[in-house]
Amino acid sequence: MIDFELTDDHESLVQTVREFAGREVAPHIKEWDEKQQFNRAILNKMAELNLLGVCVPEEWGGAGFDYVSLGLVCEELEYVDTSLRVIMSVHTGLNCLTLYSWGTDAQKQKYLAPQAKGEKIATYGLTEPGAGSDVVGARSVARREGDEWVLNGEKMWISLADVADNFLFFCWTDEEKRRKRDHTGMSCFIVERTMPGFSSGTIHGKMGIRAGNTGYFSLQDVRVPAANMVGEEGEGFKIAMFALEQGRYTVAAGATGVIRASRDASVAYAKERETFGVKIANHQLVKQKIAEMEADYQMARLLWLRAGWLKNEGRPNGRATSLAKWQATVRSEKAASMAIEVHGANGYSNDYPVERYLRNCKAAVIYEGTRDIHTLMQADWALGLKSEKPARVTLPPYRPTESREAVAAD
């Protein structure tokens, strides 16, 4: 039975993250956004609170919380700014949970444990200049030379590209299958920034998430040990899709935070702004917008909570996670837009945060599967054209431990 009541641990975690984001980020985010400035110190503070490995078991350096906790962290962080949630998405959702599920014990010891502790920062490299939703359109390749693989390729629109220490790199390891666009010819590798032939750069001029680091990285004859292959040769596409499922979950929870932030900003403004001699909170059309934001928030939150519950139980959740991501992101765009309308001309200025909400939330409608991709996926599930098939590797169900280390007190 699904229980939507948060535990004491959940409530404590929410309070810790809320206070952290309100104290360390909220007072500065307008300036960071204007200057397109990423504050590296935030990563250290998140690590001190054990947030970067919040749902990774203690034995691998994490805090040992459940997957619902990961969603709660993402919602609270994106309530303040999307750039914070993006850190959780790529570091924890896309990378750490992939290594936790697919990695060998040696890989977990070498890479996952320091990442979960925040000693190393990690990200995920799938998108390329000419390949986004069309994953098999990727051009990155690897060739085997003895006990090493030689990697070449370029990845684009990578969060934390100029900050991360470790990267998951997806590429073709079978040239014949590449020509046939057969995804079973793709593999996944762990790449370190310090490996010779690695370079990265930052993308400037973004519409939103300006306080976050987004860029590209390039591999030119980068040699990695064969032991750095994640999963088996030819499983890269499956691993990429697995990782995206975890990333979508974090995006869904984060977008729900945008809806709540838009609602709260609109409620506060409506109570103080007057037109025609009365507070605009008394105008029916303003009430309608706020009511829709409230409804959208409650629906989006229930959807990601259900996906998180399924993850905790170790049950298939691709369909639920896709639905949560799709609905939360499109509704966040709607909520942010209506919030600007509630604020009128003031909403068009960065004197109020709602214009930043709209600029930020647009990206989430695109990454981790566009709204169009998720629309088609949900239709195929409803039509019986798509099903959640048994997989060789799945996300391990949540198993609480008595000795779980609590997130650091504020």
Give the model confidence (pLDDT) of 280-322 as tens digits: 999 999 999 999 999 999 999 999 999 999 999 999 999 999 9
Tokens found for residue 398: 């949540």
Q: Do 111 and 144 belong to one domain?
A: no
Residues spanned by the domain of 137? 123-236
339 and 259 in one domain?
yes
CATH of the domain at 250: 1.20.140.10
pLDDT for 389 equals 86
Q: Does 368 participate in catalysis according to the annotation?
A: yes
pLDDT value at residue 401: 75
66 and 141 belong to one structural domain? no
Question: How do residues 210-245 score in pLDDT, each as one tens digit?
Answer: 999 999 999 999 999 999 999 999 999 999 999 999
Query: What Cα–Cα distance (Å) separates residue 92 from each residue in 62, 85, 97, 280?
Result: 10, 10, 6, 42
Residue among 166, 43, 148, 27 at smallest CA distance from 94 = 166
Tokens 């001309």 belong to residue? 345
Torsion of CA 315, 317, 320, 325, to 10 degrees: 140
pLDDT, tens only, 322-370: 999 999 999 999 999 999 999 999 999 999 999 999 999 999 999 999 9
In a domain, 2, yes or no: no
pTM comes to 0.95
Are 289 and 376 within one domain?
yes
pLDDT value of residue 92? 98
Q: Find how far residue 206's CA is from the centre of its chain.
A: 18
Give the bridge partners for 153, in sequence order: 219
Q: One of 11, 175, 368, 402 is an active-site residue; which one?
A: 368
Runs of H (alpha helix) within 182-235: none
| Chain centroid offset of residue 268 CA | 29
> Which tens digit of pLDDT belongs to each residue from 137-193?
999 999 999 999 999 999 999 999 999 999 999 999 999 999 999 999 999 999 999
Residue 105 and residue 180 share a domain: no
The closest of 286, 290, 288 to 263, measured between CA atoms, is 290
The angle formed by the CA atoms of residues 61, 111 and 367, to the nearest 5 degrees, is 100
- Quote the tokens at residue 88: 């959780």
Tell me what percent of the residues of the chain surpass a pLDDT of 90.
Answer: 95
The pLDDT score that the predictor gives to residue 53 is 98
Is residue 341 a part of any domain in this protein?
Answer: yes
Angle CA 82–252–359, to nearest 5: 35
> Per residue in 67-88, pLDDT tens?
999 999 999 999 999 999 999 9
Give the C-alpha separation, 298 to 295, whole Å: 5
Percent of the chain with pLDDT over 70: 98
Helical spans, DSSP H, in 25-81: 29-35, 41-48, 67-80
What mean pLDDT value characterizes the chain? 96
Q: For residues 108 and 60, what is the distance between their CA atoms, to the nearest angstrom? A: 7
| CATH (domain of 184) | 2.40.110.10
Same domain membership, residue 243 and residue 369: yes
Closest CA to 395 of 280, 316, 300, 293: 316
E strand intervals along 68-212: 122-125, 141-145, 148-159, 166-172, 186-192, 198-202
DSSP state of 131: B
Q: Which pLDDT score, from 0 to 100, does residue 408 have?
A: 44
3-state secondary structure of 150: strand
How large is the greatest C-alpha to C-alpha distance in the chain, in angstroms? 79
Which of 240, 249, 242, 231 shows the shortest CA–CA distance to 134?
240
Question: Of 86, 105, 121, at which residue does a domain stop?
Answer: 121
Selection from 121, 129, 99 nearest residue 217 by Cα: 129
Residues 243, 225, single domain; the answer is no
Q: Where are the alpha helices (DSSP H) in 144-214?
A: 175-179
Cβ-based neighbours of 383, under 8 Å, separated by 6 or more = none
Q: Is 330 helix (H, G, I), strand (E, B) or coil?
A: helix
Residue 249 tokens read as 């979950």
**170, part of any domain:** yes
If asked whether residues 172 and 229 sit together in one domain, one would say: yes
Question: Is the pLDDT confidence value at 56 over 80?
Answer: yes
Query: Which among 205, 236, 267 is the end of a domain?
Result: 236
Same domain, 94 and 152: no
What is the model's pLDDT at position 260? 98
Domain end point (choices 236, 269, 289): 236
Nearest to 358 by CA among 382, 379, 332, 377: 332
| Res 410: pLDDT | 47
Cβ–Cβ under 8 Å, residues 115 and 61:
yes
Number of domains in the chain: 3
pLDDT for position 4: 79
Q: Stretch 394-402: mean pLDDT, rounded?
A: 88
